[in-house]
Amino acid sequence: MTTVHQAPGQTRPGGRTARTRRAVLAAVSEELGEHGFAALTMERVAQRSGVHLATLYRRWRSVDKLVCALLTDMSNDVPLPDTGTLPGDLRALARAIARFYGDARTRGLIEAVVAAAARDPQAATALRDFFDERLDLAGAMVRRAVARGELPADTDPKAVMAALGAPFYYRILIARRPVEPGLADSAATAVWAAARAGAYAYATEAPAPGRRPHNSNGAPDQED
C-alpha cells in the first residue's frame, strides 16, 4: 500500500475543502437573492453557511472576492459548444449566455461584481482574470474555425468572443433592461459576419505620434 502525498494547496476532489466552498458559495447566492449586495457581509455568510468567520477571511478575504468566486462557479454551467461550424458555435454559445443572464439573480450578481471592481483594485483584478480566462476558453471555437479555413489566419480569438458577449453586458449594465430572446441570434450573426470580414484581426503597432505611416517602399505616404 502506498501513500500519496499532496502538494501544498491541493485538495482532494469532494473533500472537506470542496464541501466548505460549496456551502459558502451557496450561502453567498442565497444572501444576494434575499438581501442584495449592499447587505452582504462576511458575518452573514458565515452564519448561513456554518463556516467559521476566520476561515472565510483566510480563504476569500472580502465579500468582493466571494461574489467573484460565485460568478466563476456559476459560469462553469455555460457549456462551450462544438457544432462543427463557427456560426453554429456562436449561436449556441450566445443562446446559453442569454439563458445564463436571463436569471434575475445572475444579473444581480454581475452587477455586484462590476460595482465591487469599480472601487476595489483586488476585485477589479479578480474580475479581469475571470473574463480573461473565459475568453481564452471560448476562444477555442475561433481557433478551430481558423484551422477549418472559416476565418482569416490572423483572427484574434479573444476579440471575437469579447464582441459576442458585449451586447449582453450593454443590455444588463448600461441599458438596464432584461436580455430579450432575439439578442442571442442577432449578436451571433453580427459577430460571424464581422469575423469573416477580418474585423477582429490581431492589432498591429500604430505609428508613433507625429510620424506619418510609410508606404510599401519605405517612404512616408504623401498627404493629400
* Structural domain boundaries in the chain: 17-60, 79-196
Q: How far apart are CA 200 and CA 151, in angstroms?
A: 10
pLDDT digits (tens, 9 = 90+) for 109-168: 788 788 878 887 877 887 888 888 889 999 999 999 999 999 999 999 999 999 999 999
Q: How far apart are CA 178 and CA 193, in angstroms?
A: 25
Residue 4 to residues 10, 12, 82, 173, Cα–Cα distance (Å): 12, 11, 37, 48
Q: Is 1.10.10.60 the CATH classification of the domain at 17-60?
A: yes
Question: Which CATH number does 79-196 carry?
Answer: 1.10.357.10
Binned at pLDDT 50, 70 and 90, residue 4 comes out as very low
Q: Supply 207's cell numbers.
A: 505609428
Its pTM surpasses 0.75: no
At residue 209, does pLDDT exceed 80? Answer: no
pLDDT digits (tens, 9 = 90+) for 11-69: 444 588 889 999 999 999 888 878 877 788 999 999 999 999 999 999 988 887 888 78
Mean pLDDT of 96-102: 89
Least confident of 74-78, 138-142, 162-166, 172-176: 74-78
At residue 106, does pLDDT exceed 60? Answer: yes
Greatest mean pLDDT among 14-23, 86-95, 128-137, 202-211 lies in 86-95
Cβ-based burial of 179 (10 A; exposed 0-12, middle 13-18, buried ≥19): buried
More confident residue, 192 or 120: 192
pLDDT for the residue 103: 81
Mean pLDDT of 78-86: 91
Binned at pLDDT 50, 70 and 90, residue 210 comes out as low
At residue 78, does pLDDT exceed 90? Answer: no
Q: How far apart are CA 24 and CA 48, in angstroms?
A: 8
Of the chain, the end-to-end C-alpha distance in Å amounts to: 82
